[in-house]
């Protein structure tokens, strides 16, 4: 009836082995999950550029040129911050830019 202990040893080694293999990839996956909303919003801005520009122009009455500039600033700010967070460079300022923007 003795199992020889190999089952519990295998289970005991599985978690540390998994963590050892994935520890370099998990921070990137976590950052991607955190900024996925901003990535989706950037893609939406790109494909609905005219709608966003017209909305800003009609809401603020600022003119088409300024509305386009504001949409462009928003898009570049989101994409730039998103890339900085994923590359793990300047994470604090990039998070602040996403939060304030």
Share of the chain above pLDDT 90, in %: 34
**For residue 10, pLDDT beyond 80:** no
Question: Using 50, 70 and 90 to split pLDDT, how confident is the model at 34?
Answer: confident
Give the model's pLDDT for residue 1: 47
Question: Using 50, 70 and 90 to split pLDDT, how confident is the model at 6?
Answer: low
For 64-73, the CB contacts below 8 A with 24+ separation are: 71/45
Give the model's pLDDT for residue 29: 85
101 Cβ contact partners less than 8 Å away, ≥ 6 residues apart: 74, 77, 78, 81
Question: Using 50, 70 and 90 to split pLDDT, how confident is the model at 11?
Answer: low
């Amino acid at each position: 009836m003795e199992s020889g202990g190999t089952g519990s040893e295998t289970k005991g080694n599985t978690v540390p082995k998994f963590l050892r293999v994935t520890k370099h990839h998990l921070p990137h996956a976590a950052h991607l999950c955190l900024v996925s909303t901003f990535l989706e919003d950037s893609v939406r801005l790109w494909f609905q550029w005219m709608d966003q520009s017209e909305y800003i122009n009609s809401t603020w009455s600022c003119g088409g040129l300024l509305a386009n500039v504001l949409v462009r600033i928003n898009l570049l700010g989101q994409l730039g911050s998103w890339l900085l967070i994923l590359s793990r460079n300047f994470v604090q300022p990039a998070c602040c830019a996403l939060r304030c923007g």
